[in-house]
Structure formats: structure tokens, C-alpha cells
A and B are shown apart, each in its own frame.
Chain A
């Protein structure tokens, strides 16, 4: 096969054309998105948040309202799933491209406090207009690390019991009362379990992550125990309270088999919505996932003999400000203080069904019933905010402690170890982790 030489130029030209086209695409696409003050131009604040559907609509309404009132400010918000935000923020931090404001889980606060670009808001929140003490104590504890305020509360929640009224009635059980105890819960769960119908009394999430841990921590606190010693240097959960709380879970998971174990952390929602679960210990965010169930909400049961009553646990999240220059920082702070002021908090809660972050909003007349019209049962969660008395230890090693505790709980739930053994093993592991760092 003879190939004429002139063909070569043709193919070479084709190749070059293809590469040039690629190059042109790269060069041609994209204008530079400037975030920051041009000379005399508007200030653009970049926010990374995870708001969807109702929350997204409410948030963008508030953003437009603020922009209308402040013509020199533009707010650009980017959706980032809250679970992914940390990866994106950490990469941005290391790469020097931080946003102005980001929505970050409260459980990350101890590490977030170590990021040098995070702005110290202690002086900002001291301003009387901010009314810092109007935020619930659980939120303030999570926004503060070693006396430094690193965020403004964006969200608050807590754990309570959501139950299926129809299943209770079918089993002939009285609906949970405000003074119920854990023995009531365990007994109810056993009666609501029906192997033939593949129906369970309750469920527990078992991926071994913090979700597994914080559900149990509420029980630990209710039993009168605490996680770590006051100086956060040693484990304190291997106590009678620790034992009692683990026993409660074990009875349901292993002995009564009334507890569905969900390693995926998602299945339980659809199961409850399909009428296969009698009760769930969960938070207000799940309520909108239960359209098919006539549910009721009750505070968590208590342990008689413990003074902690119906104490619950909360998982607040923070708006965090990053330092991209003093102009950006002050614009961001101004926006945040406006966004988290009482009128905006009330608006946001009413539109989304999210709990209000401010006590003044929650206690306003008619608020509870108005919220219930928006989302059934949420008023119990709002009232339950007064049952939040403490927060998880705000130390950087908390994530290590959490891993140890997660394994402890899962091994008890799977019947792989007894509560005593699991507690002892976890305590010694936690002690060495805390000592080692």
C-alpha cells in the first residue's frame, strides 16, 4: 500500500485543528468570577450552604430582602450538601480560596476553630443588638471553643420520640405520656414488634459514626452520667449510668429483638413512613419524611431515680466567617447578624418548619401553634429545647472518642459483647487516646 506524501499534511492539519479547538474551548470559556471589592464596585459575599427545597426558597427570599435594603452588597450562594461542605472547605482552606461564609456542622467546631482563616466573632456577638443570650445554651456552647466564638448559630434541633399512632392503637397501647420512662418505652417496643408482619417497635442506626453515638449520649445523660470528666481528660461514661443506658439498648436489640438495626442510616426513615416501625428517637428534620403516617411526638422518656429527667441532646450548626480581607469580613458579619436576628429567624422557621434558634421567637405567643399548622408535631420539639442542658465535649479529639464509642455501641447492639466489657474496653481506649494527644 503506497501512501502519497501529501496525505500526511492533511492528517497533521486535522490533528492540529482538533488540538486548537480544545485549546480554544479552554481559553474561551469562563470569565473570571470576581468575589470581592472592585474599586468602588459592589461587595459580593460568597456563601456555601446546604439549603434545599423549602429552606432554599426561604433563604433566597431573605437574601433578596437584604440585597434590596443594601444596594452595595451582592450575595452569591452556592449549594453544597452539608456532608460535603467540610471536604470542600478544607480543600479551599489549604488552597487559599475560602468563601466568605460557610454553613458547618457544630460537631466540627473544635477543628474549625483551628483554621487560621476563621474569624473570631467574640466581639461581634457581644454587641447588644445581637442579644447573644437569646440563643439557646446548647447552641452557644457549640459555637464557642475555648472561649472563642467561631460561629453564629444557623440551626438547632434536638432528639425526641416520634411514634405511629395507628400502630399504638392497634396494639392496644396508650399513647406515650409526657412523664413516661424507659421501661415504658422498652415494654411498648416489645409489644409493637410483630415478626409475622415484619414490624419492629423501634430502630437504631448502626453505622458506627457520630449518628450512632449521639443517640446513646442522650440516654447516658438522662441516666445521670457524663461522657468525660470535667477537665475532658478522662472517660467518665463507664459508670452505673453508662451501664444502665447500654442495657436499655441491649434489651431491645438483643433480648426482645424489638429494635431494627439500620447500618445505612437512611432505611429507617422509609421504614417508619411505611408503617413498619412503632417509635423512633429522632429529630425535627425527619418529620417531613413521614407523609404517610399519622404520627405523634413526645419528649424522650426518663430514668426514674435520675435527676436528669427528660434531658435531651442537640446538634446545632454554625455559620462560620472566613477572612478574605477586612471589607469582606465586615460585610459578612453585617449580613449574618441581620440573618440571625429575631424577625428573620421567625420568618425562616415559619416557612421551613425548622426550630427557631432564638428563645424569644420560640416563646412568642401563638408561635407554637402556628408552627404546628406548618408541620405537625414540631411544637413538641420547640418546647423540648428547654430540655437541652449541655453539649458534647468541644475538644479536637472528640472525633476519636466518637469512633471508639460508636464501635462500643454497635458491638453491644450486635450482641458481640456485654455492656460491661464494652464499656471497660471503650473507656481504656478513650483514656489512652486523650492522653496521647
Chain B
């Protein structure tokens, strides 16, 4: 991969007023690098990193609403390892992520390709995709709860018409999680479309035309030219969607509340219950850190794999 830092002009070029140690220092990459990142990073560190360190400290304390929060070392983590609900929550979180992330990316890519053209009504189609991001989680939840209602919902109605057996959906411990997958794919498709659409703009037509001239069909061109050029966007989406999927909360809170029988209890929902219903802040923080570990490992894996598959034109 090409070097992506820039070199200073060589000594052969002289410019008036240039030279001098101070000038070179101010122009240096170190200074510029830090100067550019400092404002944004300061905000994120203050409001992101500080609370995270704080909650790490909380995870080593026995929670209490009182003023005393005694340090109990690793007790919370030990409880976590033996808690059967935690292992169920891990399972559900991973299954959910494994279905949601590829699902959203595939649907999003398909729709972005479909929308990347100048046909009539294209603005309407695109706005429809983006608009799904704007709708509040509660409206989304209400509509899906109704669509999937076992007695009155459209999906079961459709099933009865095509001869499939009626399902219990959100009432069934084995099906509820998949309903949530469907609900969230719908909710995130717009985001994937937005990202892919922006990325598709960076695919030079000249390359596609060259491929066509070389005799490649549309699918082959897509696979060999477009997809690799989209790989930075794909990496971005994969990472971002995964980070969000592993932290699923709103849809569960608004529809099944972790049920039925913990079937949709995912890690963040469980830690919310521990913090705000059982008042175990310390334990909730421990669960959050355990999740944090999972997320770091998965994200690092994605970045590592991306080195082989991501292509940056610089």
C-alpha cells in the first residue's frame, strides 16, 4: 500500500521567508497531527474516556444507593462468569449480530446500487431509504409488534394465505429474537444505503467502462471492480454495525423487555435491568466491561481481516 504521509519539499526549492527551526517545527507532521486532532479528541476523551474509566472503577465496587461503595475486587466478575443469564445473553447477542450485520449490509448494498442512477422518482426512493433512519424507535417497535402479532398481524395473515403454519413470533421464545432482527434490519437499511451510496460515487466510470470494453458482464464487473473499491465503506459499515449490534437495547426495551423467558435478553438489556431494576451498578458495570472486551476483540478481528480485503486507492 502506498505511503500515505506527505513529504516536505526538498532543499532545492527555496521560498522566501521559509526555513528556520521554528518554522520547520510548526510545519512538522507531529505538530500538525496533534494540532488537528486535539479539539475533537479532547471532547471525546473528556466525555467518553473519563466516564469509561469511572465505570471501570465502579465495576470493582459493590453497588449501593448509599454513599458508601466498598471495593470488592473481582467479585462482580466472578458472579458474571457463573450467571446463567449472562451466558444466555451472550448467545443471543452473538446470534443477533451474526444475522443483523450481514443482513443489513446486503440489503443496503442492493438498494444503494438500485438507487445509484438517474431514473424518475429517484429522489423519492432515496428519501424513503434515509427516512427510515429518522423514524423513532418507538414508532418502529409499535408497527412491527402489530405486523407480527400472532392473531391480528399481517405476517400471519400472509402465512395463512400461502399455507404456512401460524407462528407465535414475539410470544415464542424461539422466534422472538428473529423478529427483532427483522425490525432492526428495517431500521438500519437506510444507514447502509446512505454509506454505500456515498461510496459508490467514488467508483470512476472510466474503470467500469474499461471493464465493459474488456468483455466483463455486469455481475463480474460488480464483483471485480465495484466491490473492491467499496471495501473501505464495507469495512466501516461492518465495524459500525457490529459495534451497534453488540449493544442492542432500544428495540428490546420497547417490545419484548427481554422476554419471553429471556429469549431476547441481550447483554446491554441485562445490564440495564441490573442497574436500574435491581440497583446493582457495580455488577452492571462489570457486564459492560465484559461486553467491551467482546467488542474490542471482534473489532480488532475485523480490522485485521480488512488488511487483506480492503483496498485504498492511495
Contact = CB atoms under 8 A, between A and B. Distances in A.
Physical contact A–B (CB less than 8 Å): yes
Which among B145, B152, B173, B257 has the greatest number of chain A C-beta atoms within 10 A? B257
A414 B173 contact: yes
A267 interface: yes
Nearest to B151: A198
Given A198-B151, A407-B262, A414-B171, A209 B279 contact: no
Given A90-B276, A206-B260, A399-B277, A114 B65 contact: yes
Contact of A114 (B66, B172, B257, B277): B66
B67 interface: yes
Contacts of A19: 39
Nearest to A265: B257
A208 B151 contact: no
Contact of B260 (A111, A200, A263, A400): A263
A179 to B, nearest CB: 33
Given A90-B276, A263-B171, A399-B277, A411 B261 contact: yes
B233 interface: no
B145 A208 contact: no
A206 B278 contact: no
A123 interface: no
B149 interface: yes
Interface in A46-98: 86-87, 90, 93
Interface string B21-42: 0000000000000000001000
A184 to B, nearest CB: 25
A416 B65 CA distance: 37
A116 B259 contact: no
Nearest to B39: A19
A264 interface: yes
Given A114-B65, A115-B65, A263-B256, A416 B279 contact: no
B257 A198 contact: no
Contacts of B262: 208, 407
B167 interface: no
How many chain A residues sit at the interface, stated as a range, is 20 to 34
Interface in B247-272: 255-262
A93 B65 contact: yes
A319 interface: no
A403 B84 CA distance: 14
A411 B262 CA distance: 11
Contacts of B123: none
A265 to B, nearest CB: 8
Interface string B149-161: 1011000000000
B127 interface: no
A207 interface: yes
Nearest to A112: B65
Contacts of A411: 261
B252 to A, nearest CB: 11
Contact of A208 (B39, B67, B146, B259): B259
Nearest to A211: B257
Interface string A287-301: 000000000000000
A79 B145 CA distance: 28
Which among B146, B152, B171 has the greatest number of chain A C-beta atoms within 10 A? B171
Interface in B166-185: 170-173, 176
Nearest to B58: A94
16 contacts: A90-B279, A111-B279, A114-B64, A116-B66, A207-B256, A207-B259, A208-B257, A208-B262, A263-B171, A265-B257, A267-B146, A400-B278, A407-B262, A414-B171, A414-B261, A416-B261
Interface of B: 39, 64-67, 145-146, 149, 151-152, 170-173, 176, 255-262, 273, 276-279
Give me the 10 closest cross-chain CB pairs, A-B, nearest first: A207-B257, A208-B259, A114-B65, A115-B65, A111-B279, A263-B170, A399-B278, A198-B151, A207-B259, A264-B145
